[in-house]
Homo-oligomer: A and B are copies of this chain.
C-alpha cells in the first residue's frame, strides 16, 4: 500500500530531510513539494544530494493539489500552517506540522511568545502532540499532529522516566542544551555565516527561548503537575546534532536509575539507553531517527545528570514526523527510518 504525500515549504533543512528519508520509505510517494520562491525549479538543483533521487519540481502552493494527497507535511516557519491547515483538514487530509503552530495548547501563551495572533485557535485543542514515546495512542487516531520542537524532544525524553517515577524535585530542573547550526534554518544572515560561528561556542537566549513554554507544557503533561525548568540553549559549530545535559535533584535516593531508564524505554524503537557510565556522542545519531540517553549520579549524591543526544533534523524534526505518520497510517513504525547513523 502506498500513500500520496505533499510537503509544504520544502526549501529548508527539515524539508530536504523529509525528502531524503521518504525517498527510502516503502509506502510513500511524494507527489507535491511547494515553495513560492522556488516554484518551477527542480528540487535537486537546490539540494544536490537529491540528484537522481527525486525528479520533483517545486510548485506554487495550491489547495487542490495538496488536498489530493493523503498526508501533508508542513515544514514552514511558524504562522504559515495555521492559515492553510483548516481547509485541508476539512477536506479529509491528515496534516503533520513540523512548525510551532499547534504545539502549545494555551493560545494566549503561544501568542505572547510568538508575538502574533493565532489564525486557527479552534484547531489547537484537537492537535495531537507528536511525541510517540508519550502519545502513541493519541497519534494513531489523530488527523492533525503537532511535531515537537528539536530541543523539547530531547528534554522530554530525558526527563520522562524520572517524572513518571515521581523521583525528582519538580521545582528545580535544568536543561543545558547545545544544537548544531541547522537548527537556525537556511536564511541569509550574518549571524550564522561560517565565519561568525565556526571555531566558536556560545549560549543564546539565556533570558528565555520560545521552546521553554512548549517544554514546560510537555513536562507537566507527563508529571501531572507543573515542572519548573531553567533552559539555556547553546550553538555548536556543527551542522547536525543536539546534546542536552539535564540536572535534577532526586527526592527518592533509593531508585535504580539505570534500571528505571532501561525499563521505560525497553519497547521504544527509537530511544536507546546506553550502559551505565556512558556518554553519548551526537555523531552516533547523525542522520538517524534515534535518541541515545545515559543517566549518571555523580559521586552517588542526590543530583541526577541525564545526557541525551539526537539529530535535530531527524528525531528532532523530520524523522519524528515520519514516525508519527507511520503510526497514524498503521505502517510499521520503523518504515523508512531504519538506516544507521553516518559515522564517522
A positions within 8 Å CB-CB of B:
13, 16, 20, 23-24, 47-53, 172, 174, 176, 178, 181-182, 184, 186-190, 192-204, 206-208, 230-232, 234, 236-241, 243, 245, 247, 249, 272, 274, 277, 279-288, 290, 292, 294, 296-299, 301, 303, 305, 307, 309, 313, 338-344
Q: Are B48 and A280 in contact (CB under 8 A)?
A: yes
Report how far A204 CA is from B238 CA in the complex, Å.
19
Most chain B CB within 10 A, of A49, A307, A341, is at A49
Known: A181-B193, A198-B237, A201-B243. 17 other contacts (CB 8 A): A51-B284, A184-B195, A186-B190, A188-B188, A188-B193, A194-B239, A198-B239, A199-B199, A199-B239, A200-B238, A203-B243, A204-B279, A207-B296, A232-B298, A236-B236, A236-B237, A237-B237
Can you identify 16 A-B contacts, CB atoms within 8 angstroms? A16-B343, A16-B344, A20-B343, A49-B340, A51-B284, A178-B178, A188-B188, A193-B193, A200-B286, A201-B282, A202-B309, A206-B294, A207-B296, A231-B298, A287-B287, A287-B342
Top 10 closest pairs, chain A to chain B, by CB = A200-B283, A49-B341, A48-B284, A49-B343, A202-B281, A206-B296, A194-B194, A176-B176, A188-B188, A53-B340
Q: How far is the CA of A234 from the CA of B244 in the complex (A)?
A: 11
Point out the residues of chain B lying under 8 angstroms from A193, CB to CB: 181, 186, 188-189, 192-194
Find chain B residues with CB under 8 A from A199 CB. 199, 238-239, 283, 286
* Contact across chains for A238 and B201 when beta carbons are under 8 A apart: yes
Q: Which residues of B contact A13 (CB under 8 A)?
A: 195, 344
A189-B193 Cα distance, complex, nearest whole Å: 8
In the assembled complex, how far is the CB of residue A316 from the closest CB belonging to chain B, in whole angstroms?
14
Contact, CB under 8 Å: A192 / B189: no
- How far in angstroms is the closest Cβ of chain B from A320? 17
Among B187, B230, B343, the residue within 8 A (CB) of A190 is: B187
Q: Give min CB distance, A256 to chain B, whole Å.
A: 16
The listed residue with most B CB atoms (<10 A of its CB), out of A190, A193, A341, is A193
Q: How far is the CA of A172 from the CA of B230 in the complex (A)?
A: 14
Question: Across the interface, which residues of B come within 8 angstroms of A16, CB to CB?
Answer: 343-344
Query: Do A49 and B234 form a contact, CB below 8 Å, given A13-B344, A24-B339, A200-B282?
Result: no
Which of A232, A283, A338 is most buried by chain B, counting CB atoms within 10 A of its CB?
A283
User: Would you give the shortest CB distance from A251 to chain B, in whole angstroms?
Assistant: 14
A155 to B231, CA, bound (A): 19
A298: B residues at CB distance < 8 A: 206-208, 230-232
Q: Are A52 and B194 in contact (CB under 8 A)?
A: no
Question: Given contacts A182-B344, A288-B49, A290-B52, is CB(A230)–CB(B247) below 8 Å?
Answer: yes
Contact across chains for B243 and A202 when beta carbons are under 8 A apart: yes
Measured CB to CB, the nearest residue on chain B to A236 is: B201
Distance A299 CA – B280 CA, assembled complex (angstroms): 31
Contact: B181 with A281, CB < 8 Å?
Answer: no
Who on chain B is nearest to A305 by CB?
Answer: B206
Determine whether the beta carbon of B207 is less than 8 Å from that of A232: no
How far does the alpha carbon of A47 sit from the alpha carbon of B286 in the complex, in Å?
A: 13
Max chain B Cβ within 10 angstroms of own Cβ: one of A203, A207, A303, A339: A203
